[in-house]
Amino acid sequence: MHRTAIITGSANGIGKAIASRLVRDGYSVCINDIRSKAADIDAVVAELNATPSSDGRPKAISIPADVTSGTSVEAMIRETVDKLGPLTLMVANAGIAQTKPLFSATGEDVDKVFSVNVKGVFNCYTRAAQQMIAQGDPETAAGLRVYKILGAASIGGFRASAPLGVYCASKFAVRGLT
């Protein structure tokens, strides 16, 4: 069975590592990040596609999109499915951190962090679930369902840190959504 994944925030760091591992495990992946990281996204895609796949499908495609926009997430999912096949895994990894004491944080700081870290995860979870439901029952491997939706919370979602108060609150929220 062919498996397709979207990994948000995968132009570098943990997201890139997740995408690399998934490709080694046989997935075709959508490398996603914000438009200002388009060159980084393209570099990851080129690296992952350096050796051709055995089935002729691309190992990776590039789709810059803003996870804070539900319509952008929907378009990213639609394009991924059109190019790679049915979505079987969504990894909502995109996130931002802000090192600032809580009393120094502004309402705009909270809005920015929560927009990416919580609303972005919400958009990915709900839009991916809608796509998977529309695709119907997945093929099964050893009787197990193969659709998966994952979110990245970090240690900040388990233990608060004084200089990362807003970030930690957003990662606690990711755990709640999950």
Active site residues: 167, 171
Instruction: Provide the token pair at 19.
Output: 């995408």
**What is the three-state SS of the chain?**
CCEEEEECCCCCHHHHHHHHHHHHCCEEEEECCCHHHHHHHHHHHHHHCCCCCCCCCCCEEECCCCCCCHHHHHHHHHHHHHHHCCCCEEEECCCCCCCCCHHHCCHHHHHHHHHHHHHHHHHHHHHHHHHHHHHCCCCCECCECCCEEEECCCHHHCCCCHHHHHHHHHHHHHHHHC
- C-beta of residue 150 within 8 angstroms of C-beta of residue 128: no
